[in-house]
Structure 1
Amino acid sequence: MLPDVQALPDRRGVSLDEVGIEGLRYPLLIADGQGAKRETVATIDMSVSLDAEVKGAHLSRFVEVLHTWRDEVASDSALRLVEDLRTRMGSSSARVRLTFAYFLERQAPVTGARSFSEYQCALTASVSTANPVLTLQARVPVTSVCPCSKAISDRGAHNQRGYVTIEVHPVGPGELWFDDLIDVAEASASSPVYALLKRPDERHVTMAGYDNPVFVEDMTRHVALALRDDPRVNRFRVRVVNDESIHNHAAYARLEWTDSATGGDA
């Protein structure tokens, strides 16, 4: 029998909040909002709490648990994954964070040409003796036309690429998914960003954006109103950044909100 050093007792009387692995790159199948699964490669952090009398955690078990759940990652299964990890490690709490590229097929607005758009997303799940906590995050590229530039210019208006980052604590697993956050973010902007546009599409996007100018403040408020009125949302953060096209700086706005009826318990 090989010695199990991690299982040896520790006599220093110091418990640890988190012990685990981070930066692991691993292939996964992520559920999408259409009932299908999408292949991606995630960067993964996994941790558990460690009691004072235990010397170390068995790090190999983190990857074993992840491999078991690799083909069925969704909001409800993520909580079961973390509970499986907590139980196998004999810990009072566990946490997993998955960061990955999430691809959705989009149609160009006029020609209907299809292409995939990429969104950077993250799923964080934790369990303990308290309520389980689930967090969804999506970083969505958008286009915005400056209202001030449009108002003061004889011709045209400057526009720029921006990013809307939404982090949400849903009321319960399965209530909300990344597709919902992406839709809210894109609706807040002058225009979505597309991977493929033919000439009629480009014309449409340019004029539609010009007819819908927004500041970062406007986009942040649009997102806040949509999420605040969504009964599936417990609390959220939104941050909008524009990489300004005619300034040597970025512009941003940020907001946090918690449902006062629930106190933000996720």
Structure 2
Amino acid sequence: MDKIKTFPKKQLPNKAQRHKLFGSVEPGPKTKPSEKSKMADLQNTRKDFLFDLDAVGIANVKHPISVKSNLIPATQTSIGTFQFSSSIEKASKGTNMSRFTEQLTLYHETGFTADIKTLKEFTKELADRLKQKDAKLTVSFPWFFERRGPQSGLAGMNHADASITVSYDQLKGYNVTASLSALITTLCPCSKEISEYSAHNQRGNVSMEIKLTDDFDEEKADWKESLLEAAESNASARIHPVLKRPDEKMVTEQAYENPRFVEDMVRLVAADLYEMPFAEKFKVTCRNEESIHMHDAIASVTYDKTNDNTL
């Protein structure tokens, strides 16, 4: 039988003594009120503070959310990164920061689904809670979707970075924008043209932002799926989490058959967004992490369909 090892025991001061050793002191006399009703409220001071503020609030607030999707998994839990704000007039010194997170906690208690209907309700109620005429919310989150190998059918999880911004104004109503960034493969047309064989390819990041029309209905269309398809269907090839050799053959041959510059990518994606009835305005950017150059290649296009007189 193995002997139990013993170690020499060091005699330490108790925890209170250790805290004192490292600088802790006894509490001093308390003279200020501890009841909220008797405390000074500097943020609600009313004076002429020189300027109206466009936005004041909190950012980088991480919180669990539920996300609905037309793709598998249809319902998923993700982590939302929030930013909340409202404008304030120059007669107000500041805002009540705690009210932003109070509102978030209330929604969490009943299950916070990050869909546009819920976010609209949240933003209007936030303006009321803040006693302001407007409020704005942005939530960014990773959105997961199943992707199968084109030949093997083996499944894995891909993800794209999604974001929704909702602005509410008592007079102007709502303004909603949605964004998605997706990874794709692009194969260089120039390399294919000038080389005796082969062509270099790279991983591209396509970012799309659209202003949604006022009548957009999430029950009829999933904007995340639509933007993902716009990026991936126009690429040289899609990105896959699981590829066996027959899959890899198909993907690399597809990329060779569909060469794309960044300029090609943003124009092709823009054409798809132009045809989406719920996209009122849009911006598309593409960044290619070049495989044989030290630099990245970039391109972008912005278009407003409400001023459409060019096509």
Determine the C-alpha separation between the residues in 2 that align with 1:232 and 1:115: 30
Give the corresponding residue for 1:58: 96
Per-residue deviation, 1:49: 1.6
- Tell me the SS of whatever aligns to 1:260: helix
Give the corresponding residue for 2:58: 21
Aligned pairs for 1:34-183 (under 5 A) are 34=71, 36-70=74-108, 71-128=112-169, 129-172=171-214, 173=216, 174=218, 176-183=222-229
Select the residue among 40, 47, 52 that pairs with 1:11.
47
Q: Is the 8 A contact 1:29 1:72 kept in 2?
A: yes
Range with bigger deviation, 202-211 or 23-32: 23-32
Q: Is the 8 A contact 2:208 2:284 kept in 1?
A: yes
Per-residue deviation, 1:176: 4.9
Q: Is the 8 A contact 2:284 2:302 kept in 1?
A: yes
Per-residue deviation, 1:252: 1.1
Determine the C-alpha separation between the residues in 2 that align with 1:208 and 1:62: 49
Q: Deviations over 1:25-75 (max 9, x none)?
A: 111112223593221112211011223333332211111212333421112
Q: Is the 8 A contact 1:103 1:118 kept in 2?
A: yes
Q: Which of structure 1's runs of 4+ aligned residues deviate more than 6 A? A: none
Q: Is the 8 A contact 1:191 1:209 kept in 2?
A: yes
Give the corresponding residue for 2:21: none
Q: Deviations over 1:201-247 (max 9, x none)?
A: 11111111111111111111111111112211100000011111111
Which structure 1 segments of 5+ residues have no match? none
Per-residue deviation, 1:255: 0.3
Which structure 2 segments of 5+ residues have no match? 1-34
- Tell me the SS of whatever aligns to 1:26: strand
Cα RMSD (Å)? 1.9
Q: Is the 8 A contact 1:6 1:57 kept in 2?
A: no
Per-residue deviation, 1:261: 5.7
Determine the C-alpha separation between the residues in 2 that align with 1:103 and 1:146: 28
Aligned pairs for 1:174-253 (under 5 A) are 174=218, 176-253=222-299
Larger Rg: 2
Report the AA paired with residue 74 of structure 2. Answer: A
Report which structure shows greater RCO (CA 8 Å, sep ≥6). Answer: 1
- Tell me the SS of whatever aligns to 1:208: helix
Q: Is the 8 A contact 2:58 2:97 kept in 1?
A: yes
Q: Is the 8 A contact 2:69 2:222 kept in 1?
A: no
Q: Is the 8 A contact 2:280 2:306 kept in 1?
A: no
Report the AA paired with residue 175 of structure 2. Answer: V
Determine the C-alpha separation between the residues in 1 that align with 2:294 and 2:277: 40
Determine the C-alpha separation between the residues in 2 that align with 1:83 and 1:9: 24
Range with bigger deviation, 2-11 or 219-228: 2-11
Q: What is the TM-score normalised by the length of structure 2?
A: 0.80
Give the corresponding residue for 2:7: none
Q: What is the TM-score normalised by the length of structure 1?
A: 0.92
Identical amino acids, percent of aligned pairs: 31
Higher strand share: 1
Aligned pairs, number: 263
Determine the C-alpha separation between the residues in 2 that align with 1:136 and 1:256: 15
Residue 7 and residue 144 in structure 1: after superposition, are their counterparts in 2 closer, same or farther (change >3 A)?
Answer: closer
